[in-house]
A and B are shown apart, each in its own frame.
Chain A
């Protein structure tokens, strides 16, 4: 004789499998399952086995691997496109401005040196003198939004153990 909770569980299982609510015929056709274990409060609609299969199927399904398609109406698609176009145009202009400024800076350096060469050749020679061992300072860093607390480790020593 089946106890009531088990009976109801099987009924729900069969419903999940067959999509039917008529338990009268189904109970006899299904193999009996005497699963022991701690019963949780969660209302189980499918058995552990079915749930496992569902989980496995859902993992291998193609839909899970592809990001969900953004569903936009025609109007919103055009609006979205407009925003993107504005953003690219804005970025392009910004880039052009920066490039222009940099080239202006470079030109003015060249012009200044040309002038210096004409006015004071000896100063020009000094300005362009090659200094052996002079390198770009390693300490000079690009300004960032979140600089480290200690900028430079001056007394760094070689690790002897290695």
Chain B
């Protein structure tokens, strides 16, 4: 690396206009590779005398001082990283192998890209700033997800025994987020494992599935299954698994991947509802029920309709050779709203159990 002294000659020229490396055959650079114009100048050329635009108060703007020497170090670093990036783009042009990885590496050090990703909503993304069509943003999201949410999901799945009670094991590849849009009070993203009131879950959830890997979004289909492994099987003195909702043949874009009521209404019949939604209606005095949302990549379209609620998810996965890529879960327990939900769905009255467990052995 050139020392600061060596580079000062070229700094003045550089700081005037900084543009990141790009492939030579590219005409229109993606919008998401540019920081918003409000911040761009102070991000690339240093915070001006008026203060950083990211601070809203005039007082703090005036008080703010950049660390001394950051300007010179940044200019040199920017030039160095840009040159490296240009080398990578040249490499992509000369050979076509490992293209996605090289594209990621060419943009991941771009301060504008990092700025966009750091200070914009990652979940409800605006493609103007965070465009998941670009592999670099998917990579950044992957890093962000793996740093917390993925671990949290796995903790909940394992500690609440969703694994192995539903599927044997699981390697999460795709972030799945859940929201109950029908409900106007609990209108937030649900953390995996939350216990929800039956009032909230009376209508189907909306599921956001953010694909991270390079797939063909035109052809790749997904299956979503919601299973409840805690249905009382009184005859056998055990529990059985039922399916609450199932969708197959769902197509997802990188930026448009939220399965909402609107999307299901406007759908042209491509999405196959395996079975209609049965809301959680837990029985009085039984332990909390788990509702595990599984997301699979399908190798081929699935056009079957399920008639039975009793469901063997392992067999279904095996028969359709599904590949589990994402998961989520929530829990439900008996509350005073359950009877209303049962009435709405025309379900029989719920069984009431003794508080104390009996001593009858399993067969």
Contact = CB atoms under 8 A, between A and B. Distances in A.
Interface in B25-80: 39, 42-43, 46-47, 52-55, 64, 66-67, 70, 73-74, 76-78, 80
B85 to A, nearest CB: 11
Interface stretch (A5-13, A58-66, A82-90, A120-128): A82-90
Contacts of A74: 39, 52, 54, 115, 118-119
Contacts of B70: 76, 79-80, 83
B84 A89 contact: yes
Contacts of A90: 1, 80
A77 B42 CA distance: 12
B14 interface: no
A86 B1 contact: yes
B115 A86 contact: no
A76 B111 CA distance: 10
Contacts of A78: 43, 111, 114-115, 118
A119 to B, nearest CB: 41
B38 to A, nearest CB: 10
A84 to B, nearest CB: 8
Given A85-B81, A86-B81, A87-B77, A76 B109 contact: no
A72 B84 CA distance: 27
Nearest to B110: A82
Interface residues of B, number: 28
A13 to B, nearest CB: 33
Contacts of B67: 70, 72, 76, 80
B45 to A, nearest CB: 10
B52 A82 contact: no
B73 A83 contact: yes
A43 interface: no
A81 interface: yes
B74 A73 contact: no
Contacts of B52: 73-76
Contacts of A83: 70, 73-74, 77
Nearest to B77: A86
A69 to B, nearest CB: 13
B81 A75 contact: no
Contact of A73 (B54, B77, B81, B111): B54
A9 to B, nearest CB: 35
Nearest to A84: B77
Contacts of A89: 80-81, 84, 109
A130 B78 CA distance: 54
Interface string A33-55: 00000000000000000000000
A11 to B, nearest CB: 34
Contacts of A75: 39, 42-43, 47, 52-54, 115
26 contacts: A73-B47, A73-B64, A74-B52, A74-B54, A74-B115, A74-B119, A75-B39, A75-B43, A75-B54, A75-B115, A76-B47, A76-B66, A76-B67, A76-B70, A77-B118, A78-B111, A78-B118, A79-B74, A81-B114, A82-B74, A82-B114, A83-B70, A83-B77, A86-B78, A89-B80, A89-B109
Closest 7 CB pairs of A and B: A86-B77, A73-B52, A74-B54, A90-B1, A82-B111, A83-B77, A75-B43
Given A74-B52, A82-B81, 5 more contacts: A75-B54, A82-B74, A85-B109, A86-B78, A86-B80
Interface of B: 1, 39, 42-43, 46-47, 52-55, 64, 66-67, 70, 73-74, 76-78, 80-81, 84, 109, 111, 114-115, 118-119
